[in-house]
Amino acid sequence: MNRDIQTLIDLISSSSNIVAFTGAGVSTESGIPDFRSSAGIFQMDGGGFPPEVILSKTFFDKYPDKFFEFYKKFMVYSDVKPNQCHLALAKLEDAGKLKAVVTQNIDNLHTIAGSKNVIELHGNANKNYCVKCNKKYDAQYVLNSIAVPKCDSCGDIVRPDVVLYEEMLDQEKLYNAKCHIRDADMVIVIGTSLVVYPAAKLIKYFEGDKLVIINMADTPFDASAMILLRQKAGEVMKQVVEGLKL
């Protein structure tokens, strides 16, 4: 085990109010691409449109067929399982160490892994609703639909309950996440480029010094981290769980 992972274990041992702040990088080891890695969604073919344009509210309203063609290929996740990182965070919560997972992910994997206090800043792809009558649908309904998913009650469009580009984040969730991070005695940032705002700004509310970043690439917050681990999140967190005998 390398020295930084041992330090991480020691920091966790001496903490009791940890918050994990996660991004798409925690789910790549489950087989879901992130946005910005070399094999990420931003490198994929959007039929002539950049993915961040396709995943915007304007595009969704204008070209729902093209939106769902892309979204069903890359953004609805079925048959995926939590990996060592998701499972480790659930164990840390069970052990009374971790108080919340604040995630930018929409894949539901923290909850499937057993984490209870999960703040999903960008929503959840497993939740979908009719834009007219608000009837609820699961991800399978969207995946099974031909072209644009339509409500079986009123016939209007069924959309994912996720935050698209140009849309506001839920202010209550944002405030809740901010309070957790402000009050934490340790924050572990995992698998996020920390460039998507306003989510990334939340890190600025942390008042302590035990900031750990586990990410394969540089982030704008690296200089503030007490420990920086450029390793796969699942591999690091597996060793953490073993080291803590959880």
Q: List interacting residues with ligand CNA (CB under 6 A).
A: 23-25, 27-29, 32, 34-37, 40-41, 104-107, 122, 191-193, 196, 214-217, 232-233
Strand 158-162 and strand 123-130: the pairing is antiparallel
CB of 71 to ligand CNA, least distance (A): 11
CB of 188 to ligand CNA, least distance (A): 12
Q: Is 85 annotated as a binding residue?
A: no
Angle at 116 between CA 125 and CA 111, to 5 degrees: 30
Q: Is 151 annotated as a binding residue?
A: yes
Residues 189, 20: Cα–Cα separation, whole Å: 6
Residues 189, 179: Cα–Cα separation, whole Å: 16
Strand 211-214 and strand 227-229: the pairing is parallel
Taking Cα atoms as reference points, which of 92, 75, 81 lies closest to residue 11?
92
Nearer to ligand CNA among residue 138 and residue 152 (C-beta): 138
Residues 93, 108: Cα–Cα separation, whole Å: 17
CB of 16 to ligand CNA, least distance (A): 25
Nearer to ligand CNA among residue 40 and residue 114 (C-beta): 40
Active-site option among 86, 110, 122, 180: 122
Q: Is 179 annotated as a binding residue?
A: no
C-alpha pair distances (Å), 139 with each of 63, 77, 124, 158: 20, 8, 9, 11
Q: Is 154 annotated as a binding residue?
A: yes
Nearer to ligand CNA among residue 85 and residue 184 (C-beta): 85
* Residue listed under structure tokens 């803590």: 244
CB of 152 to ligand CNA, least distance (A): 27
Q: Is 122 a catalytic site residue?
A: yes
| Active site residue ranges | 122
Known binding residues for Zn(2+): 130, 133, 151, 154
Known binding residues: 130, 133, 151, 154
